Amino acid sequence: AATAVTQDSLLNICMDAKHHKTEPGPEGQLYGQCVLWKDNSCCTTNTSVEAHQDKSYLYNFNWDHCGAMPEKCKRHFIQDTCLYECSPNLGPWIDQVDTSWRKERIRDVPLCQEDCEQWWEDCQDAVTCKVNWHKGWNWTTGTNQCPKGAMCQKFKFVFPTAAALCEQIWSGSYRYTSHHRGSGRCIQMWFDPAQENPNIAVAKYYA
């Protein structure tokens, strides 16, 4: 019985973080790329709208810190934000943290190979000045700017492989895997909203 309780406590939950709802439920009007989670979501409609804004109030984070990020690349960051804010299927990878703005984060979420490779493929010519986007920015203007002496370079030089991008950019939130979409062994950032959310089964497997 104890095992069952523990397993269930990892399923269908929202993490204790800055914008998450306390528990998941339907959100009829999720915006844009976040619509995949409308049937059962940890994010509100407002959060889903903000996930698509440059320098949104969610984190005042500026994707264009080294010049404009190409749209084909930005959509992956929007999708990453939607997954993080809206998914109720990340329970097995929630970890306690003690920061001013959140009590929990995700670590080592096993991303499907295709999702990671496509992210890298579409972003390799985008430009950034940092490997770890969680910390080390200059926030004096209220939004993130490159720290002094940091050079803007193409992603493909900062992150030489898809695994480097997925694992390093958010300090270990994701883990690159060789599992494929639909295998039931990896989390999909993207899926067909007309089909059942494939991440429900993945969370069950790891829980």
Contacts of 95 by beta carbon, 8 Å cutoff, 6+ apart = 104, 105, 106, 107
The pLDDT score that the predictor gives to residue 4 is: 58
* Token couple for 52: 């698509």
- Domains in the chain: boundaries: 7-206
Model confidence band, residue 2 (pLDDT cutoffs 50, 70, 90):
low
The pLDDT score that the predictor gives to residue 146 is: 97
Give the Cα separation of 206 and 199 in Å (integer). 11
Which of 129, 94, 119 is closest to 176 using CA atoms? 119
- For the stretch 7-50, pLDDT in tens is 778 999 999 989 999 999 999 889 999 999 999 999 999 999 99
Model confidence band, residue 184 (pLDDT cutoffs 50, 70, 90):
very high
Q: Residues 30, 45: contact at Cβ < 8 Å? A: yes
DSSP assignment of 155-179 equals HHHHS-SHHHHHHHTTTTSEEE-SP
* Token couple for 176: 């690159």
Computed from CA positions of residues 136, 16, 93, 179, in that sequence, does the dihedral angle turn out positive or negative? negative
Q: How many CB atoms lie within 10 A of CB 27?
A: 22
Model confidence band, residue 6 (pLDDT cutoffs 50, 70, 90):
low
Give the Cα separation of 146 and 139 in Å (integer). 9
- For the stretch 47-79, pLDDT in tens is 999 999 887 778 889 999 999 999 999 999 999
The pLDDT score that the predictor gives to residue 173 is: 96
